[in-house]
Each structure stands twice: as C-alpha cells, then as structure tokens.
Amino acid sequence: MKFNEKAEENYFFSQPHQPFFVLAFINAIATMLLFMLSFKSVVHLEVSAAAFHSYSMLYLLFTPAFTAFLFTTFPKFTSTPPISKKNYMQVFALFCLGTVLFVAGSITSPLFLHIGMVTLLLGHTMIFRMLYNIYKTTTISDTHDIFWILSAMGWGLLSHFLFIAASLFYTPLMGVAIEIGTYLYLFLLTFSVAQRMVPFFSHCMHEKNINLLKTVFVLLAVRLFLETVYTGSAFAVDLALAYIIGKEILSWKLPFPNPNPLLWILHLSLYWIPVAFIFGAMSNLTALIGNRSFLFLDTHVLMLGFVFTILIGFGTRVTIGHSGNLMQAGVWEKVLFNWTQVVVVMRLFVSMAAAFGWDFMILFDISATVWMIMFILWGIRFFPLLIKGKKLN
C-alpha cells in the first residue's frame, strides 16, 4: 500500500503539466466561488471584487495552466532538453504557497494577500527566466514564435507588478494592469501558441505570415493607449483586429467543422477571436456614444470564447497524449467541449442583460455555476490521469 502511494506521488510530479493543471483547475473553482459570494455580498473581500476576479483569473488560473503547457512544449519548440523536475517543482511550490496566501488573505488580511501576490510574482518571474534561458541556448534558426511567446510572458510580468503596485500604492494603475494582463499578456501569449500549434495539429500547410504577430501586437498596444486615455475609444482598433485576425485564420483553411472533437474545439476557439473583437467594437462604440455599459462584454467573449476554450482543448489534448492513452475523444470529452460554449454564451447573456438594464443577478449566478461545473467535470474525468496515471475507459 505504501509503495503504491509513493508511486502515485512520484507520478503526479513526474511531468510538469500534471501538478500545474491540477492547481490551475482547482483555483478556477475556488476563486469563482469566492467571487460569486463576494458579488452577492455574502463574503467580504479585502480587495475589490473586480480586482480579485481579474487577478485570480490571470495569475491563479491561466498562468499556471499555460505554464503547464509551455513547460511541456517549449523545450520541444526549441529542441532543448526538458525542464528539470527540480526547477519546475520550485515554481509549483511558489504558486501553491502564493495561492494559499492570496486566497486566505483576500478574506482575512491584506498583509497575507499582498505577500501572496509577491510570492506569485516571484514564481512568475522564475517561469520567465526559465523560458528565457531556453530561448538563449536554443540552436534552431527560426525563433519567431518563441520570441513572441516570451515577449507576451514579459508583458505578463509587467502587468503582475502593476497589480501589486495598484493594490498597495495607486489604485488607478489597476485598470492599466488589467488591460495589459488581458491583451498584451494572456491573449498575445495564447494566440502566439495557437497560430503555431493549431495548423500543425490540423495538418494544414500554409505560408506563414511573419508579420502577423507584429501587426497584432502594434494594434493591441494602440488599443491599450486609447482605452487608457478614454474608455471606449478603441472601437476602430477592435474592428481592425477582427478583420486582420479573421482574414488570417480563414487563409489557413482549417477543416471546420471537423469530425475530430480534439480538433474542432481548437478551431472553434480561433473563430471566437474576430467575433470577440467585433463585440468589443460594438460595446465600446455604444459605451462611447450612448453611455451604456456591457459589463466587460469584449473582455469576457475574448477570454472565454478564445482563451478558455482553447485552454480546455489544449489541456485535454496534453493530458491524454502524455498519459499513455489513445489520442481520441469519447463521450466525456464531447460533453466537456460543448459545455465550454455554454459557459461562453451564458456570460454573454449576463453582459447583454446588464446593457439593457435588466436584473442580471440570476444570469450571473447561472454563469458562475456553469463555469464551476465545467472544471468540476473536467477534474472528475482527468485528475485521475494527472495524479495517478490511470487509463481512460
């Protein structure tokens, strides 16, 4: 019995994606529950509900989740040795400690909350340093994609630092931190990975547009500037991003709809990008001329439609592929992939209800609940693979 328990413990930490996925997905449930309770004034937080929600999504969910993916694939991108267990376990330990301190501090003490944020920033810095060291030592000639992945991670560090500075010293920095974290960090990071991996997985041969990421970055930077100067003024940039990215995705000629769920979930996530920026243009223009709030519709459609959807697709693919199971999707996977779209649509309804002045609290509760159900179901299905190495039925 003791031997089996030891073997399972060793297996759980044997590959970097395993502990990081488990931590990220537990955080997705716990922080959403806290956010929902605080939004309903059931729990008092030591930080604003919006700041808690933004920070926890960016740095307690998506950062460890994409670290799981990058620590597994970045060495393969660069033809370098795998990241050592000692190194990724140091980062994992910091994220575990930082998470506990941040979550506990958010309901008990600002001191613990800020110590937790600094601990998480230290772990985030270690991630960047490891990836940067790989970037410096690789001998491959084409470093275009990994440069942009690393650049996005650098913007994430800046955003992380600004979150802490805003929380401690100057609250107006919070808006800038959220904008940088959402667009120049998380979106740019995810899109940099997706534009490389999705066509590869789909066996689509196309001429690579080496100016795509540069153009997207410039437009995102302009968007950041405009939104910082005057909220809603970036609607034209949103339209430009929708057109440029949408045109590029169509040029890849992805086989969509695809009979393979492990592919169509990735394709679907990409198609949400131009849709999200169109929604962004619409909501920003309406807010500019009509003073109507869509309750962060643009951010949520992009983060849920694209980033969250592709996270579930990539996370499922990596988990199955690195656990000795056949790379195929069964009924469970199909249900999970379809449920991602329930999450997206429900959050869209919340914003629409808010914009038209309707009571959206019931929709908000439903939206938060379907989010938590998503991660609970994913955990039931895949935690046994990640923790114990069990085989799928």
Q: Which two tokens stand for residue 52?
A: 């808690």
DSSP states along 325-384: --S---HHHHHHHHHHHHHHHHHHHHHHHHHTT---HHHHHHHHHHHHHHHHHHHHHHHH
Mean pLDDT of the residues in the chain: 93
Question: Rounded distance, CA 320 to CA 265, Å?
Answer: 15
Inside any domain, residue 171:
yes
- The pTM assigned to this predicted structure is 0.94
Inside any domain, residue 169:
yes
DSSP states along 140-157: -S--HHHHHHHHHHHHHH
Inside any domain, residue 284:
yes
CATH code, 216? 1.20.210.10
Q: What pLDDT score was predicted for residue 232?
A: 81
Inside any domain, residue 77:
yes
Kindly indicate the confidence band of residue 3, based on its pLDDT and cuts at 50, 70 and 90. very low
Inside any domain, residue 9:
no
Q: What pLDDT score was predicted for residue 71?
A: 96
Condensed to tens digits (0 to 9), the pLDDT of residues 257-301 reads 889 999 999 999 999 999 999 999 998 888 888 777 788 898 999
Condensed to tens digits (0 to 9), the pLDDT of residues 154-184 reads 999 999 999 999 999 988 899 999 999 999 9
Q: Which two tokens stand for residue 349?
A: 């309804």
Please give the single-letter amino acid code of residue 94: L
Question: Rounded distance, CA 70 to CA 67, Å?
Answer: 5
Inside any domain, residue 148:
yes
Kindly indicate the confidence band of residue 4, based on its pLDDT and cuts at 50, 70 and 90. low
Inside any domain, residue 343:
yes
Which residue did the predictor score with more confidence, 69 or 294? 69
Measuring CA to CA, how many Å separate 303 from each of 125, 215, 242? Answer: 23, 20, 15
First-residue to last-residue Cα distance in the chain: 24
Inside any domain, residue 20:
yes
| Domain residue limits at 279 | 14-388
Kindly indicate the confidence band of residue 354, based on its pLDDT and cuts at 50, 70 and 90. confident
Q: Which two tokens stand for residue 155?
A: 């913007």
Show the DSSP H helices in 256-307 as ranges.
Answer: 261-290, 297-300
Q: Structurally, how many domains does the chain consist of?
A: 1
Question: Rounded distance, CA 161 to CA 95, Å?
Answer: 16
Q: What pLDDT score was predicted for residue 1?
A: 42
Q: How many CB atoms lie within 10 A of CB 97?
A: 16
Which residue did the predictor score with more confidence, 304 or 7? 304
